A and B are shown apart, each in its own frame.
Chain A
Amino acid sequence: MKNFDFSRLNPIIVPLIAGGLGLLVGALMLLALGANPLEAYAAMMQGAFGSTNSLANTMVKACPLLFVGVGTCIAYRCGVINIGGEGQLVIGALFATAVALTFQDAPAWFLVPAGLFAGFVGGAFWGGIAGVLKVKFNVNEVLSTIMLNSIAGFIMTFLLTGVLIDPTTADKAIKIPQTQRLPAASDLWRWVPTSFHGGILLGVVIAALIYVLLWRTTIGYRIRAVGFNPKAARYAGIAVQRYQLLAFLLSGALAGLGGAVELYGVTPHRLFSEGGTISFTSNAGFNGIVAALFGSLHPLGTIPASFLFGALLVGANSLQRTVQVPSAFVITLDGLIVVFVVASQIWAQKRSVKRVDEARASVVKAETT
Chain B
Amino acid sequence: MISDLFSLNVLIGILTSGVRLATSYLYAAIGETFGQISGVLNLGVEGIMLVSAYAGYIVVLKTEDPWLGLLAAILVGMVMGVATAFISVTLKADQGISGIGVYLFGLGFSDLLFRVTVKSPQILKGFGDVAIPVLSDLPVIGHIFFNHNILVYGAFLLVPVAWFVLNRTTFGLKIRAVGQNPEAADSLGISVARMRYATLMIGGGLSGVAGASLSIALLNMFQQNITAGQGFIAVALVYFGAWKPYRVMLGCLLFSMVNALQLWIQTLGIPIPSDIALMMPYVLTIVALVFAARSVVTQPAALTKPFERGE
Interface residues of A (CB under 8 A from B): 29, 33, 81, 83, 133, 137-140, 142-144, 146-148, 150-151, 154-155, 157-158, 161-162, 283, 286, 289-290, 293, 325-326, 328-339, 342-346
Contacts and interface: CB of A to CB of B under 8 A. Distances in A.
A305 to B, nearest CB: 14
Contact of B47 (A142, A148, A335): A335
B56 interface: no
Contact of B105 (A33, A147, A335): A335
Interface in B76-114: 86-87, 91-94, 96-98, 100-109, 111-112
Given A147-B282, A147-B283, A290-B101, 10 more contacts: A83-B97, A137-B293, A137-B294, A138-B293, A140-B239, A142-B43, A143-B232, A154-B279, A289-B100, A343-B98
A152 to B, nearest CB: 10
B275 A161 contact: yes
B251 to A, nearest CB: 13
Given A335-B107, A339-B101, A151 B289 contact: no
Given A139-B286, A290-B97, A147 B224 contact: no
A139 B294 CA distance: 9
B279 A332 contact: no
Contacts of B294: 137-138
Contacts of A332: 104-105, 108-109, 112
Given A140-B239, A144-B286, A147-B236, A289 B108 contact: no
Contact of A342 (B97, B112, B232, B279): B97
Contacts of B285: 143, 147
Q: Which 6 A-B pairs have the closest CB atoms?
A: A335-B105, A331-B108, A335-B104, A338-B101, A332-B108, A339-B101
Residue from A29, A148, A150 whose CB has the most chain B CB atoms within 10 Å: A150
B105 A133 contact: no
A144 B289 contact: yes
Contact of B96 (A142, A161, A283, A344): A142
A325 to B, nearest CB: 8
Contact of A330 (B93, B100, B108, B283): B108
Nearest to B102: A339
Nearest to A151: B282
Contacts of A139: 286, 289-290, 293
Contacts of B278: 154
Nearest to A353: B308
B235 interface: yes
Residue from B92, B97, B106 whose CB has the most chain A CB atoms within 10 Å: B97
Nearest to B279: A154
B275 A339 contact: no
Nearest to A340: B101
Contacts of B232: 143, 146-147, 150
17 contacts: A81-B96, A83-B96, A137-B289, A150-B279, A151-B279, A158-B273, A326-B116, A328-B112, A331-B107, A335-B102, A336-B101, A338-B101, A339-B105, A343-B98, A345-B93, A345-B94, A346-B91
A132 to B, nearest CB: 10
A334 B104 contact: yes
B188 interface: no
A355 to B, nearest CB: 16
Contacts of B104: 283, 286, 331-332, 334-335, 338
B85 to A, nearest CB: 12
A17 to B, nearest CB: 14
A133 B108 CA distance: 31
B194 interface: no
A143 B239 contact: yes
